[in-house]
A and B are shown apart, each in its own frame.
Chain A
């Protein structure tokens, strides 16, 4: 059993004819992912650089019925990305990974009720995607070489911070069962608690690294969940200890408002729940490593 992706994963890339879509579709294929189709409205039949055998369709419904794709990866520009998610839900995809950064929040608020009424799972938006090294599958933009198969699950609100921690894990001889970036936006499809639940249930995961950041209350919610439901060791790093209040730190979701969403509050809640909290990303990895050895 693996988390979210496995040998049955068949990926359709939305926006595959764009610069990012084409580049990362190739990297996914190189990692071993079955990239079976692309969708760009109006570009059916186009050739994708480096992936000559991957057919391009105008609509997601056609891509799914012709290729049996079951996972979508979205590289569509922000004004059109929510529509891409809605098209995927309608086409019945099991898993939708939305990489796009900068989607208007109202668009995501329109998506949420439709998503809740469906059987699709959304990861992101504004996320790096999912890597499952043991199954040789990645859906997203993370550099593949830094991963190694193993038994640590990573879950994070930030893309590059995930890479940072995966690199530390791999350097320290700890492979990953999966690395999941849930995204830095205020409205996202899958949250810390959902992924913690997957790792807790996964018999190939022994320990978890959680990477949070300032803003919102998801880390506090995660702490509560860990206290009640997670038996495996968890370590964490919270980014933004030095961030000034009331300023949006790049990610739309990363803002301290009043006394809410501070790094100190999140660290305290996680410690209270028995989580090993590192002062730096490296420390978070070392704390988990010591616990697992």
Chain B
């Protein structure tokens, strides 16, 4: 789950990072008031979860209240990667002498938590990694222990910071590591970390991405979820324990297991169809969840056929069959239903379906072809 910059700034500041003050504005007038409070040059930024907002015109400098009002006027209502801008962040602009990148994330290849820092701040770290990987300083660390001060100092010196700045940098790095561990983050990033002409360090941006698996034990972070930035159907699915991502096709897919769910989309496409969604009903789904999944799929008006592809392991075919039958009773509209059912408790599942007049398929390929034919 991505957290808005306004919340991430607060979380970072709480752990001692030097984050300039800021206000959130929902109208141009509020932006003007905030700018007047800070005096001088301010930055007005779109509060959206999508990346690339600078390039999309979502970040503007403004000198004074009137300019801030104009900037907010232009930014509010923009659509950035499908996300409508409803709020802006207003903060005093910081004079920039140099920009540094600092981030804490998971290195999948090395199977470790890692701090990454680069003297090339302000641009995406992926670009730096691709062009000059040697320009990135890295500290792999044990999350139970954190980063030692000497390691952080070494990175500070490698970035070319002076003695006093390095002390500040060590505090910032350790603060960001604390954010990462205490918030169950998958990414905590300051880009850029700015050195101002007076030699001070400022975190002028804050990016925080929380591990979805940990939200259950982080209720305060769950509260930061922006429900308006989420597809309503995806939110409904999440509440039911289902992974659902809406796509543009017309064949609704209900599958157990993420890998098989992706493969089902691929196979539908292979036979000339277009999947309407990714849906993993989750391991061990009972009849209720299966029924909820079908109802979510059918709420998409583009769906003209549903392909149920279940290979039971921890999920049991008879539970799925009961869910399919219950959902069919209350289907808001009739569309062709192609069911492929195998695996744990298969015989009982097939019997339940056959008693209700549904002939389940055995092969995923054959079932995918039937689903594609059904929408032709």
Contacts and interface: CB of A to CB of B under 8 A. Distances in A.
Contacts of A113: 142, 144
From A109, A214, A279, residue with most partner B Cβ within 10 Å:
A109
A184 interface: yes
Interface string B335-376: 000000011101000000000000000001100000000000
B213 A78 contact: yes
Interface stretch (A2-10, A40-48, A89-97, A250-258): A250-258
A151 B191 CA distance: 52
Interface in B37-58: none
A250 B261 contact: yes
A280 B267 contact: yes
Given A79-B216, A102-B213, A142 B313 contact: yes
A291 B275 CA distance: 32
A5 B365 CA distance: 32
Q: Which residue, A103, A141, A156, A244, has most C-beta atoms of chain B within 10 A?
A: A141
Contacts of B265: 240, 242-243
Contact of A106 (B111, B181, B364): B181
A148 to B, nearest CB: 15
A239 B313 contact: no
Interface string B112-129: 110000000000101000
B209 to A, nearest CB: 11
Interface in B109-160: 109, 111-113, 124, 126, 142-144
Interface in A62-107: 78-79, 99, 101-106
Given A106-B211, A239-B259, A281-B364, A250 B266 contact: no
A130 interface: no
A155 to B, nearest CB: 12
A128 interface: yes
Interface residues of A, number: 66
B217 A104 contact: yes
A159 B259 contact: yes
Interface stretch (B23-31, B90-98, B250-258, B287-295): B250-258
Contact of B258 (A140, A163, A250): A250
Interface residues of B, number: 54
Contacts of A164: 260, 263, 311, 364
B224 interface: no
B164 interface: no
A20 B283 CA distance: 10
Nearest to B281: A250
Contacts of B342: 143, 146, 163, 167
Contact of A104 (B214, B267, B364): B214
Given A106-B184, A242-B275, A244-B245, A237 B263 contact: yes
Contacts of B189: none
A27 B343 CA distance: 12
Given A141-B313, A280-B267, A161 B211 contact: no
A1 B181 CA distance: 43
B108 A249 contact: no
Contact of B214 (A106, A163, A186, A217): A106
B167 interface: no
B213 A252 contact: yes
A257 B51 CA distance: 12
B144 A213 contact: no
Given A113-B142, A160-B313, A249 B266 contact: no
A182 to B, nearest CB: 11
A15 B73 CA distance: 57
Interface string B304-347: 00000001111000000000000000000000000000111010
Contact of B313 (A128, A251, A259): A128
Interface in A5-27: 20, 24, 27
A166 B266 CA distance: 18
B229 interface: no
B259 A213 contact: yes
B142 A253 contact: no
A136 interface: no
A161 B260 contact: yes
Given A106-B211, A110-B143, A79 B217 contact: yes
B184 A109 contact: no
A174 to B, nearest CB: 16
B106 A99 contact: no
A190 to B, nearest CB: 11
A204 B106 CA distance: 37
A282 B365 CA distance: 8
Contacts of B214: 104-106
Contacts of A282: 364-365
Nearest to B364: A164
Of B216, B259, B268, most A-chain CB atoms within 10 Å: B259
The 7 lowest CB-CB distance pairs between A and B, nearest first, are: A158-B259, A250-B258, A160-B257, A160-B260, A161-B259, A250-B280, A104-B214
Interface of B: 106, 108-109, 111-113, 124, 126, 142-144, 181, 184, 186, 211-214, 216-217, 243, 245, 247, 255-263, 265-270, 275, 278, 280, 282-284, 311-314, 342-344, 346, 364-365
29 contacts: A101-B283, A103-B213, A105-B211, A106-B143, A106-B211, A143-B312, A158-B263, A159-B259, A161-B259, A163-B311, A211-B259, A213-B262, A218-B108, A240-B262, A241-B266, A241-B269, A242-B266, A243-B265, A244-B247, A247-B278, A249-B243, A250-B243, A250-B280, A252-B212, A258-B124, A259-B126, A280-B266, A281-B263, A281-B267
